[in-house]
């Protein structure tokens, strides 16, 4: 009798645990691993805009995306998430900084107030329609945040290092490469620690695009030698500022390629957009700028146009997501 009762308890506990991460059909019956690994192999996991490929609809179709966010939670340490959330509550207060008066802070560029053209009618529906957007003056980092800069934050705040830093150390030879394997919360916490913030999507696009409606930071014609894009062929990050001829109108580097950059904006439709998308709302954050990673196997096309936007859950981190910070101007 005791053995039967114990077996019943184990069955109940297993069923409860499984329901927290999805149905039994979401897992390989032999290995117990989520079936998402069939497509999201370790080198490609998360690196897809799944709305572009109909073969993704079985898992990422209407009403299914949130289920797979829960599945991903199986691979995360709950204590790590709690620790990072705790930093979010304290770092901004500790920095004691805010909006800036006077000259641009070191390493930042002033983007003047004014209108610019945002979006495109010649791109994916999520980037439509092309429209005029007014943005106030703000500062933004000239370069993407590097590993070395992020290391100062990790050491000073006791913050968890990126997963691929062995024993908490920057990978050899990559001090001046953009930091990657950072979630949206990691990026937000870092910027707040520096007394800054993440740029909004519209701020980021204006800083990259200027006021002349250009397609790429350097102009309207794509050129593989102007940025660390998949077409450049390096297949990894490069030191920040490696492409002098690829600067934006305001002198910002790596706004096309190297690493996609987190913004503070939720993935929502632009004014006048009539294309329905189940992903709109306050579920996913927008990233901009393209990266070195070749996502053409997912039919994503060229990812580096200024008006391109992708969206991912804020807990996502991989080898081609980074960020830069912004700040208000008084």
- Please write the tens of the pLDDT for every residue from 306-319: 999 999 999 999 99
- Side-chain-side CA neighbours of residue 150 (13 Å): 30
Per-residue pLDDT band at 19 (split at 50, 70, 90): very low
pLDDT digits (tens, 9 = 90+) for 180-208: 999 999 999 999 999 999 999 999 999 99
Domains with residue ranges and CATH for the chain? 2-75 (no CATH), 78-328 (3.90.1580.10)
pLDDT digits (tens, 9 = 90+) for 195-252: 999 999 999 999 999 999 999 999 999 999 999 999 999 999 999 999 999 999 999 9
Report the side by side order of strands in the sheet with 285-288.
310-312, 285-288, 260-266, 321-322
Cis, peptide link before residue 129, omega less than 30° from 0:
yes
pLDDT of residue 56: 65
pLDDT of residue 104: 77
In Å, how far from its chain's centre is CA 49?
12
Bridge partners of 132, per DSSP, are: 117
pLDDT of residue 37: 62
Average pLDDT over residues 317-327: 96
Name which of 12, 34, 8 is nearest 23 in CA terms: 34
Q: How far apart are CA 261 and CA 263, in angstroms?
A: 6
pLDDT digits (tens, 9 = 90+) for 48-105: 445 445 566 566 555 555 655 655 555 555 555 565 666 665 554 444 455 666 667 8
Give the contacts of 41 (CB within 8 A, at least 6 positions apart).
none
For the ranges 124-133, 152-161, 301-310, the lowest mean pLDDT is seen at: 301-310
Give the contacts of 267 (CB within 8 A, at least 6 positions apart).
126, 279, 280, 281, 283, 284, 285, 286, 309, 311
pLDDT of residue 330: 78
What is 15-78 written as a DSSP string?
Answer: HHHHHHH--GGGB-TTT--BGGGGTS-TTTTT---GGG-GGGHHHHSTTTHHHHHHHHGGGS-H
**pTM across the whole model:** 0.78
């Amino acid at each position: 009798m005791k053995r039967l009762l114990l077996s019943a308890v184990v069955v109940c506990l297993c069923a409860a645990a499984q329901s927290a991460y999805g149905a039994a059909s979401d897992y390989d019956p032999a290995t117990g691993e989520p079936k998402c690994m069939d497509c999201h192999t370790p080198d490609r996991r998360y690196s897809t805009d799944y709305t572009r490929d109909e073969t993704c609809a079985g898992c990422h179709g209407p009403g299914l995306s949130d289920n797979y966010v829960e599945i991903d939670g199986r691979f995360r340490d709950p204590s790590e998430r709690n620790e990072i959330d705790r930093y979010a509550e304290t770092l901004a207060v500790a920095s004691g900084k805010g909006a800036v008066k006077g000259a641009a802070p070191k390493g930042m560029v002033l983007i003047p107030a004014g209108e610019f053209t945002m979006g495109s009618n010649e791109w994916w529906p999520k980037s439509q329609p092309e429209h005029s957007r007014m943005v106030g003056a703000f500062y933004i980092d000239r370069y993407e945040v590097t590993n070395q800069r992020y290391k100062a934050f990790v050491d000073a705040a006791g913050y968890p290092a990126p997963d691929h830093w062995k024993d908490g150390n920057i990978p050899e030879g990559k001090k001046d490469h953009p930091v990657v394997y950072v979630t949206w919360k990691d990026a937000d916490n870092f910027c707040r620690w520096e007394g800054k913030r993440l740029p909004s999507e519209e701020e980021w696009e204006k800083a990259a695009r200027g006021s002349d409606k250009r397609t790429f930071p350097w102009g309207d014609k794509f050129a593989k030698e102007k940025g660390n894009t998949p077409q450049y062929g390096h297949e990894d990050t490069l030191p920040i500022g490696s492409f002098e001829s690829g600067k934006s109108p305001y002198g910002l580097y790596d706004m096309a390629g190297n690493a996609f950059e987190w913004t503070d904006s939720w993935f929502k439709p632009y004014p006048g957009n009539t294309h329905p998308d189940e992903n709109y709302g306050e579920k996913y954050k927008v990233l901009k700028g393209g990266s070195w990673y070749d996502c053409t196997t997912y039919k994503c096309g060229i990812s580096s146009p200024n008006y391109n936007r992708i969206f991912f859950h804020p807990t996502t981190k991989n080898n081609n997501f980074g960020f830069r910070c912004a700040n208000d101007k008084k």
